[in-house]
Amino acid sequence: MAHDKIIYWAFDEKGKISEENYRETKKKGRPLQTLATVKLDSSHRIMDKSDPVVNGSVYYIISSESILKLHQAQNF
């Protein structure tokens, strides 16, 4: 999924989850079974070619509940 300054991906055991599948699952109120999510957040609009960015910043967050649970189980 993409917004002005954010791009977001979700992955399950089959690979990247489509935006359509993601929205449909959420709409039905079912939990989304993800293995990992990736969020890219920019200080400037990502697809705006009319105003080239000289200085900007981007950060990303990668999260995986299943990997965190595995890590916690091994360390406790």
> In this structure, what are the phi and psi dihedrals at residue 2, rounded to the nearest 5 degrees?
-140, 145
Question: Quick one: what percent of the chain has pLDDT higher than 70?
Answer: 96
The pLDDT value recorded for residue 16 is 94
pLDDT at 11 over 90: yes
pLDDT, one tens digit per residue, over 53-70 is 778 888 999 999 888 888
On whether the CB atoms of residues 36 and 17 are closer than 8 A, the answer is no
Predicted structure pTM score = 0.69
The pLDDT value recorded for residue 39 is 93
3-class DSSP string for the chain: CECCCEEEEEEECCEECCHHHHHHHHHCCCCCCCCEEEEEEECCCCCCCCCCCCCCCEEEEEECHHHHHHHHHHHC
